[in-house]
Amino acid sequence: MNKPEPLPVKDRAERPAPVGFAEALRFWLKLGFVSFGGPAGQIAIMHQELVERRRWISERRFLHALNYCMVLPGPEAQQLATYIGWLMHRSLGGIVAGVLFVLPSLFVLIGLSWVYIAFGDVPLVAGLFYGIKPAVTAIVVQAAHRIGSRALKNGALWAIAAASFVAIFALNVPFPAIVAAAALVGYIGGRVAPDKFKAGGGHGKAAPSFGPALIDDDTPTPEHARFRWTRLVRVAVVGGLLWLIPMALLAGFFGWQHTLTQMGWFFTKAALLTFGGAYAVLPYVYQGAVGHYGWLTPTQMIDGLALGETTPGPLIMVVAFVGFVGGYAKALFGPELTFVAGALAATLVTWFTFLPSFVFILAGGPLVESTHDDIKFTAPLTAITAAVVGVILNLALFFGYHVLWPQGFAGRFDGISALIALAAAVALLRYKRKVIEVIAASALLGLLVKTLF
């Protein structure tokens, strides 16, 4: 006699009890302190906690939200947390989830940035960073490989990536112009050859259910998440005022050309260009923060990326380091208040970097979801992602040049840094080691080298 098939998990488990705002707040706070591993690691943590263990949201609804966040500029993991918080507890829930995803990282980076700028010449710190810098070069190469293997599906997209590399490497074309050109090519390509510009589907199809979820596949869209023009306008106006008032105050108190005002303006533009993740916008940040404004040096930029890789929160939080070093080095409020200047600058650039992400989620969620599979909407984004690959490759070459020839091509080649970079690349690409493990091992190698030699 055949045994009856077991009931699906969905039919055997009970739906979780409603989640109160305080319980959700505690989870988002915890997530802010443990969200290491870049966007892939952060999304994996949220999936494990929210889909598998707590069952606050179903697999299919989780992926639906993630795919929405993937087509927006900005850090997708932070936006995903904001989206789910908004879906569960309205606008306040989304704001709390998004802010707590970032806040611990801001405090940690302000502290680490101060240690770096004040004690960076101490042998212990110098030795650690000597090993970390080559590892960062390998990490950026891995990012180009990871994004490229997913995004470059045909010859047209490979051509866009190659053209973007030539544009930024040989012609020094500004990053916003590259993004705009790629978007135009994608828009035209989506009409002329739509098969070449279909979105890759990034995250695959939903897996079997882990049990009935609080927000399940068949749960109706909450009333507050339904699209209304009045709500869209209201959120857009509030978001605009939250940007305009601080900018007006900065310009009024300090003037338009002041460092803090220019930081606010520059990082607002950077926030709207983060298609493809933090690595995509880093070349733009470098062009402005290092090349144009001189807020920090190329070496400090590499060190800042290393700090960003070793702290919780979105990698784009490296902007807090840029702000702190710029404000501290410029001594904006005098030599006695350098820390205050750095901390204020770090906080301001974080505000202007993340504000657009909240507006996109709270205002555009219902609207953009309905256009996610529209080729006219996705084709430009597919082309932008391809262009990002070429830009990141240029960033890897930039980092490699400054790490391996610290005094320029006329100086000596640093063979030890090359070996550390090679070992880090093998660990990341061949053995799939975690970024935090590679950075830690490289830092110890650097300290050992500096101690022995």
Asked whether the predicted pLDDT for residue 6 surpasses 90, the reply is: no
Is residue 379 within 8 A of residue 71, CB to CB? The reply is: no
Using the predicted structure, report yes or no on whether residue 223 has a pLDDT greater than 50. Answer: yes
Q: How confident is the model at residue 202 (pLDDT cuts 50, 70, 90)?
A: very low
Question: Do 355 and 392 contact (CB within 8 A), yes or no?
Answer: no
The whole-angstrom separation of Cα 52 and Cα 56 is 9
Using the predicted structure, report yes or no on whether residue 206 has a pLDDT greater than 70. Answer: no
pLDDT at 143: 76
Cβ–Cβ under 8 Å, residues 129 and 449: no
| Amino acid at site 386 | A
The DSSP element (H or E) to which 46 belongs, if any, is: helix 38-46
Span 380-398, pLDDT tens digits: 878 887 887 888 888 788 7
- The b/e string for 148-184 (b: 16+ C-beta within 10 A; e otherwise) is beebbeeebbbebbbbbbebbbeeeeebeebbebbbe
User: Regarding predicted confidence, which is higher, 2 or 50?
Assistant: 50
Give the type of residue at 399. Answer: F
**Helix 259-271 vs helix 338-369: angle between axes, to the nearest 10 degrees?**
30
- Which pLDDT value is given to residue 101? 93
Please tell me the least confidently modeled range out of 132-146, 179-193, 244-258.
132-146
Q: If pLDDT is split at 50, 70 and 90, which confidence band does 61 have?
A: confident
pLDDT of residue 277: 61
Tokens encoding 121:
């010449």
Give phi and psi for 273, each to the nearest 5: -120, 10
pLDDT (tens digit per residue) in 154-186:
999 999 999 999 998 888 887 778 888 998 999
Instruction: Specify the pTM.
Output: 0.72
Residue 163: what pLDDT? 96
CA dihedral of residues 188, 194, 200, 201 (deg, nearest 10): 110
HEC-encoded secondary structure of 135-190? HHHHHHHHHHHHHHHHHCCCHHHHHHHHHHHHHHHCCCCCHHHHHHHHHHHHHHHH
Question: What is the model's pLDDT at position 207?
Answer: 46
